[in-house]
Each structure stands twice: as structure tokens, then as C-alpha cells.
């Protein structure tokens, strides 16, 4: 009797997930699917839950959808717990995006100070959820989507006994992007990934097993650029791409094209609004659609969100664990020596073999110097962000922000930190 609990069930992405479970019902016969939310999300939960129920009814599959505000009821004896919640909601995200911009620093929900703030709000909640999982479903797998996904997954693995795997749709998006460029079925494309969540490089690209990295790098250098709905698609410099010799993820633009991205963000903030402000409106439109009692499929408008292929990543991962498939997924997993240039106990994003015992990353060894420094610096920032988030320690937080490559000085780091702590007071019980 397969039971799945989704924490943050009122998310507008939930129909994606439902579609994924419906598609795989033969291999993954979910009996009970609990969508959990909090009081503030009750209305969203009811609307999206209504659509979810119509979707399974239309598909004729035997999934029972339960809507609840009782997290413990949902977690009890679950086989999988999927976490996709947003502490503080979209308004907190918008503040995360706006605070850094005041100090001429990239304002992004997962990268830089915005991601730091989101982590500080999320860490107390995820630790609380994990206590419930330890007590009520000690054998469950926790599949984490909550951003910053790598940081939150590392927090779970360092501070709890919960079995967790972190996910992001960026790697699968990069595979699909290459497939589209080559006009081939994505199944024929394989990419070796190395790095961190939202800081992952495609180090080798294969078509039908043949290494086509160089050829593809040439076409990226020739102006082809792949991005996602939530990241401005600024073109890469051809010489830069050739010198890198790898496929950078869309989020790398914040590091490699910082000046132009900052300019773009400021321009957007002053016109259409930050990404969070755009998404807030988009979400209202989506929920209006979801209310329609005749709607019983995932509406195509959801594709305007950045989370494309989200359900493919999540549902196929769950399916591989459940069916002991031993196939390869790109996940956030404990390093354990996979990347020789990082500590063992940190989380990395890479290719791993998935079976019923979890994710077994495929060895990488050392990475080239041109990506090593940035990766190590951001990982050190992440380690300090986690420590600060767990302990509520101001000095650790100040070091985290100061060493972040996108923050120019200790002076600016301190100003941003004080602003973040002030504006997030109600969500930071640990400080
Ligand atoms: P959202 O604002 O719609 O949040 C989803 C739900 O979480 C809301 O209904 C909200 O009420 C609920 N929630 C808030 N605090 C909660 C708590 N303590 N317990 C239970 N539920 C709670 O956000 P969204 O846009 O759907 O995104 C949800 C999360 O998923 C975010 O953290 C986002 O960054 C992340 N996300 C990650 C990826 C990825 O690639 N890893 C992709 C898409 C979204
Ligand atoms: C991508 C990232 C996610 C992020 C999302 C934001 O999919 O991988 O981690 O949450 O974009 O999309 P949004 O539509 O909320 O801006
Ligand atoms: Mn992501
Ligand atoms: Mn090579």
C-alpha cells in the first residue's frame, strides 16, 4: 500500500506531480497521496486538491487524494515524503530578491544572499519535519525539492537520520535542451554532471554513447544558449564558452556574467517587477484556471514557471527507488569522495545509480582548476549557511555571506545580513 506525503501540497506545481504519478501508475501504484499544507495555504490546497482529484478520476487510476493540514497524519507510515514548501510564501521570496539589489548585489531566490535568506527560514522547518519523519516513518525516503535544494538536503543529511535525496529540474532541463538542439529523443542524450545545485557543469555530453562535447561547445559558442523560464537568457561570450569547454547551467550566468545580469535585474525590477513579483501574478492566473470544475488535466500555462520537467525528475526517481531499478539520475547526494576536491559530508549534484537503497554517485575524482575554485568557494558558503541556519549564529552567517563570490566585501555582507535578519524576524526562531 504505497503512501506518499507531499509537504507544500498547495503548490501550483502539484498538478505536474499528479500527472507524473498518473503516467507511471502501472509501475508505481500509489494508493494514498497526502497533500499537506498549513493554515495560510488552505485555500490553495483546496483548489489544487480539487484539480488533483479530477485528474485522477479522469485518468481512471486508483490513487486516493487526501487534503490535510495535519502533517503528522500525512507522514505516518509514508513510503515517500516529498518536500516542496516555501516558508514565508512569495512575499518572502520577493524580499529576498529585493534586499541584495539595494546593495548592488544579485537578487535571486536561490543564488547569493536571497538563497541564504531562504535557507535561514527553511532550516528550522525542515528539521521539524524530519523529527516527524524519524518518529512516524523512519523507513521513508524524503525527496527534497525545497530550495535551496542542495543546502536543504545537506542540512537533513548532516543533522538528522532521515534518508534524503535532493532534486532539481536543472540537469534534466539541460538534457532536454541539448536534445532539442540536436532534434533527437532526450533518451539518446546523456550528460556527466559535476558541481552543486544551481552550480552544476555538464562536463561531458554524449549522443548514443558517443562523446560530442566539443561539437556542442562549438554550437554554444556560436550563440546557441539554453536557459529556463526564470532566468534571463543573456548570451554567452563565444571565447568564454570555448575556454570553459563545458556546458554551464543557466544559473552560472549570475557568476560568469554578473555585471550584465545585475543590470538586467535592476531593469526588470523597475519595470515588470522581480521574478517573484512576476510569478505571484502568474500564480493567481493559474489558480483561477485550477478552479474551473471542468478542468481535469494539467493546464499548459504551468509551463511559464521555471519548474518544467519537475515531475519527471521526482516521479521517475521515486519509481526507480521503489522498483530497485539501478538506473541513473542526477541528484543531490552526499559527496563521500565522489568529487575529490570537496569534503565527504557535503552534498553535491551529480549522476548517481538509484536503487532501493538510495543514490550511489558515480566517481568523478578531481575537477579542473577552472571550475574548482568557484565550486569550493560556493560550497564553503553553503556549509557556513547551514551551520548558521541550524545554530542561529550571527558570526557564522556573516562569514557565509562575506565569502560568497557575489558579495564584494565584509561591509556589504554585514549590511545585507542585518537587513535580511530584520526583514525575516518572524521566520527565524533560531536567531
Ligand atoms: P509556493 O509558495 O506555492 O509554496 C508551496 C506551498 O508551501 C504553499 O501552498 C505554502 O502554503 C506551503 N507552505 C509554506 N510553509 C509551509 C510549511 N511550513 N509546511 C507545509 N507547507 C508550507 O511555492 P512554489 O513555487 O510551489 O515552490 C515550492 C518550493 O519548491 C520552493 O521552495 C521552491 O523554491 C521549490 N522548487 C524547487 C525546484 C527545484 O528545482 N528544486 C523547482 C520548483 C520549485
Ligand atoms: C528552476 C529551478 C528551481 C526554481 C524554479 C523557479 O526550475 O530549478 O529550483 O524553483 O526554477 O521558477 P519560478 O517560476 O518560481 O521562477
Ligand atoms: Mn532547482
Ligand atoms: Mn574532456
Give the ipTM.
Answer: 0.98
* Active centre residues (catalytic): 251
**If you measure from the C-alpha of residue 171 to the centroid of ligand 1, how many angstroms do you get, rounded to a whole number?**
20
Compute, in angstroms, the gap from residue 228 CA to the centroid of ligand 2.
8
Per-residue confidence (pLDDT) for residue 223, from 0 to 100: 61
pLDDT at 196: 98
Q: Is the pLDDT of residue 303 over 90?
A: no
CA dist 164 → 156, 199, 325, 383 (Å): 7, 20, 18, 17
349-362 pLDDT, tens per residue?
999 999 999 999 99
Please state the pTM of the whole predicted model. Answer: 0.98
CA–centroid distance, 417 to ligand 1, in Å, is 23
- Determine the atom of ligand 1 nearest the C-alpha atom of 110: 34
Proximal ligand: closest to the CA of 244: 4
Over range 41-69, report the average pLDDT: 97
When mean pLDDT is compared across 82-86, 309-313, 423-427, the lowest value belongs to 309-313
* Radius of gyration of the CA atoms of the chain, in A: 21
Pairing of strands 247-248, 210-211: unpaired
Which pairing describes strands 210-211 and 199-207: parallel, antiparallel, or unpaired? antiparallel
Buried b (16+ CB within 10 A) or exposed e, 366-384: ebeeebeebbbebbbbbbb
Give the pLDDT confidence of 365-379 residue by residue, as tens digits.
Answer: 999 999 999 999 999
Q: Say whether the peptide bond before residue 148 is cis (omega within 30 degrees of 0).
A: yes
Give residue 42's pLDDT.
97
Residue 288, judged by CB atoms within 10 A of its CB (0-12, 13-18, 19+), counts as: exposed
Place 301 in a pLDDT band, splitting at 50, 70 and 90: confident
Pocket of ligand 1 (CB under 6 A): 7-8, 10-13, 36-38, 40-41, 44, 84-87, 89-90, 125, 145-147, 149, 167-169, 307, 310
Residue 222: pLDDT above 80? no
Residues 335 and 322: their CA atoms lie apart, in Å, by 23
Average pLDDT over residues 394-404: 98
Amino acid at each position: 500500500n504505497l503512501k506518499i506525503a507531499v509537504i507544500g501540497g498547495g503548490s501550483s506545481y502539484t498538478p505536474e506531480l499528479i500527472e507524473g504519478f498518473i503516467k507511471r501508475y502501472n509501475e508505481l501504484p500509489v494508493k494514498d497521496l497526502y497533500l499537506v499544507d498549513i493554515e495560510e495555504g488552505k485555500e490553495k490546497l483546496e483548489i489544487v486538491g480539487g484539480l488533483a482529484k479530477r485528474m485522477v478520476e479522469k485518468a481512471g487510476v486508483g490513487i486516493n487524494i487526501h487534503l490535510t493540514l495535519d502533517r503528522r497524519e500525512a507522514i505516518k507510515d509514508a513510503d515517500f515524503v516529498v518536500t516542496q514548501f516555501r516558508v514565508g510564501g512569495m512575499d518572502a521570496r520577493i524580499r529576498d530578491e529585493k534586499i541584495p539589489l539595494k546593495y548592488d548585489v544579485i537578487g535571486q531566490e536561490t543564488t547569493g544572499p536571497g538563497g541564504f535568506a531562504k535557507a535561514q527560514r527553511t532550516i528550522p522547518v525542515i528539521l521539524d519535519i524530519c523529527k516527524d519523519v524519524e518518529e512516524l516513518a523512519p523507513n521513508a525516503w524524503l525527496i527534497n525539492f525545497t530550495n535551496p535544494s542542495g543546502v536543504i538536503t545537506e542540512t537533513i543529511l548532516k543533522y538528522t537520520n532521515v534518508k534524503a535525496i535532493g532534486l532539481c529540474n536543472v540537469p534534466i532541463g539541460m538534457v532536454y535542451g541539448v536534445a532539442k538542439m540536436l532534434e533527437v529523443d532526450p533518451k539518446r542524450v546523456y550528460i556527466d554532471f559535476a558541481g552543486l545545485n544551481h552550480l552544476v557543469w555538464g562536463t561531458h555530453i554524449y549522443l548514443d554513447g558517443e562523446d560530442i562535447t566539443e561539437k556542442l561547445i562549438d554550437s554554444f559558442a556560436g550563440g546557441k544558449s539554453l536557459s529556463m523560464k526564470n532566468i534571463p537568457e543573456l548570451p554567452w561570450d563565444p571565447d568564454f564558452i570555448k575556454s570553459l569547454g563545458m556546458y554551464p547551467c543557466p544559473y552560472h550566468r549570475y557568476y560568469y556574467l554578473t555585471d550584465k545580469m545585475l543590470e538586467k535585474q535592476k531593469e526588470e525590477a523597475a519595470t515588470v517587477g522581480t521574478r517573484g513579483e512576476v510569478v505571484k501574478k502568474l500564480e493567481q492566473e493559474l489558480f483561477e484556471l485550477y478552479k474551473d470544475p471542468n478542468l481535469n488535466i494539467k493546464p499548459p500555462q504551468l509551463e511559464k514557471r521555471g519548474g518544467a520537467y519537475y515531475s519527471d525528475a521526482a516521479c521517475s526517481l521515486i519509481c526507480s527507488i521503489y522498483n530497485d531499478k539501478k538506473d541513473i539520475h542526477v541528484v543531490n547526494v552526499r559527496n563521500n569522495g565522489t568529487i575529490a576536491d570537496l569534503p565527504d559530508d557535503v552534498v553535491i549534484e551529480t549522476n548517481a545509480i538509484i536503487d532501493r537503497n538510495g543514490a550511489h554517485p558515480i566517481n568523478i575524482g578531481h575537477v579542473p582548476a577552472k571550475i574548482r575554485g568557484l565550486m569550493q568557494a560556493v560550497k564553503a558558503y553553503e556549509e557556513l549557511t547551514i551551520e548558521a541556519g541550524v545554530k542561529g549564529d550571527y558570526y557564522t552567517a556573516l562569514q557565509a555571506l562575506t565569502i560568497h563570490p557575489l558579495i564584494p566585501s565584509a561591509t556589504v555582507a554585514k549590511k545585507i545580513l542585518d537587513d535580511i535578519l530584520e526583514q525575516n524576524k518572524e521566520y527565524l526562531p533560531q536567531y
